[in-house]
Amino acid sequence: MSVSGIEALGFTPYVPPVATADPGASVNGTSGFADLVLDGLDRLEAVQNRADSLAVQAATGDLENIHDYTIAASEAAVTTQLTVALRNKAVEAFTEIMRMPL
């Protein structure tokens, strides 16, 4: 969707990603969802490490700007919540399949 009013300001308007089915994924053994979760965990670790190092700087008095830490901390909190939500969905799907009568 093009929003000419804000494009003039140098912003690229948000374009939602379109999910496309990849028929070869399950055959090749590469699971898209598992990769997504693992990638998310890696990124979560990086974000949390950043927040942790800033927390250490705050404790030792080396922190230049307070908002650097608070923003990193809230970023880490939201990323953690998103990862947990994804994990819950995965577990939910797994138990749903396990409940299937054979």
Interaction between residue 14 and other proteins (CB under 8 A): yes
- DSSP H stretches of helix in 31-65: 32-60
Phi-psi region of 92 (alpha: psi -120 to 50; beta: other; left: phi over 0): alpha
49/70 with CB nearer other proteins:
70
13/32 with CB nearer other proteins:
13
Helices H / strands E in the chain, number of each:
4, 0
Interaction between residue 53 and other proteins (CB under 8 A): no
CB of 62 to other proteins, least distance (A): 16
Q: Count the residues of the shown chain that bind other proteins, applying the rule CB under 8 A.
A: 16
d(CA 40, CA 10): 29
CB of 9 to other proteins, least distance (A): 9
* Largest interatomic CA distance in the chain: 62
Residues forming contacts to other proteins in the complex (CB under 8 A) are 10-12, 14, 65, 67-68, 70-71, 74-75, 78, 81-82, 85, 89
